[in-house]
Amino acid sequence: MSQSKYFTRQRLATSADSVYPHTEGSDHGHEVKKPASKLGRKRQHVKVDYHYDSTVASTVSSTGNQNIKAEPVCDSINSLSDNVQAQIIQYVFKVKEEPDAKAKKKWEPPLWREQLANIVEMRKFKDAPVDSMGCDELYDKDAEPKTLRYQILLSLMMSSQTKDGVTAAAIGRLRQHGCTVENILKTPDDQLGKLIYPVGFWRRKVDYIKRTSQILVDQHNGDIPDTLESLCQLPGVGPKMAHLAMKSAWKTITGIGVDTHVHRISNWLGWVRTKEPEQTRKALEEWLPREHWSEINHILVGFGQTICSPVAPKCVGCLNNDICPYAKSPKVKVKKGVKEEK
């Protein structure tokens, strides 16, 4: 005779009472049932899955082929066996392990892979200023690690609102002067200003460099911080510089460095719809696979310097001309036959 998968709270309690001794708070192992009028709630039913054993089997078999719906047994659960308790709890709090097949797929631009592949193809000659004068190229390769990382940080700080060629020249003068934390702190402000001029906002950057250098000595043993949060606390260092410093100085990818080129091109390609670089960074990191984070800045910056320039971009010769929303815009003015920026 088949055994029913359903059993009543009363039969559960009766079965448990036949095996376990009487416990305080129960009436010989049976739950004291209150009148329905005093319960103040509707009858609820619960199906309990359990492993076959002799105790439960003897109870279920007595019901024959009847399908009896069980009521909640929370009030008397302590009087049940550990096995039955575990089965009830497992059923009540069961969580689906399989992901929802109907879950919404994460958004990503429909043509981004093709667009990025085209940009990489156009960048294969590495003829952009960033390829020879970026922060990865300006530090002294023979310097000790602390000094090397310090020079990377300074090159990033001076690159803001400054062309790569001007930044590279300033770092070259600092290296000839002695670009170490200790030596920069000893250098008078007016002399330091002459060394870094004409980088953008050079007077303000003299103050940033001096204050940052002092913090490195006082709080970081003369080295640059190795966390994104601590880097962002340095004077004159924002999220873009911090992410790039973590990548170049510490070989750790913490996010995407977004400058004016990355911000502009990402919006033109339809990858994001943002107004500020930091918004662009967050939007890109929502969908761009992490394996692209380390190189996307370098790729797009060079692309922006040579082809996708902010004024009159060279859309005619761009491989993305047919799949770029900006290139299809009627307001776009493009350069024809213009020399690439060097």
The residues carrying an active-site annotation are: 240
Q: Cis peptide leading into 313, omega within 30 of 0?
A: no
Gyration radius (Cα) of the chain, Å: 35
Residues 303, 119: contact at Cβ < 8 Å?
A: yes
Distance separating the N- and C-terminal Cα atoms of the chain: 89
Residues 326, 158: contact at Cβ < 8 Å?
A: no
Backbone angles phi, psi at 30, to 5 degrees: -100, 145
Cα–Cα distance measured from residue 133 to residue 152, given in angstroms and rounded to the nearest whole number: 12
326-332: long-range contacts, CB 8 A cutoff, minimum separation 24? 326/268, 326/269
| Six token digits for residue 146 | 């602390």
Tokens 């088949």, residue? 2
Which DSSP state fits 20? S
| Six token digits for residue 306 | 């040579």
* Among 165, 126, 116, 128, CA closest to 309: 128
Letter for the amino acid at 97?
E
| Six token digits for residue 163 | 């062309």
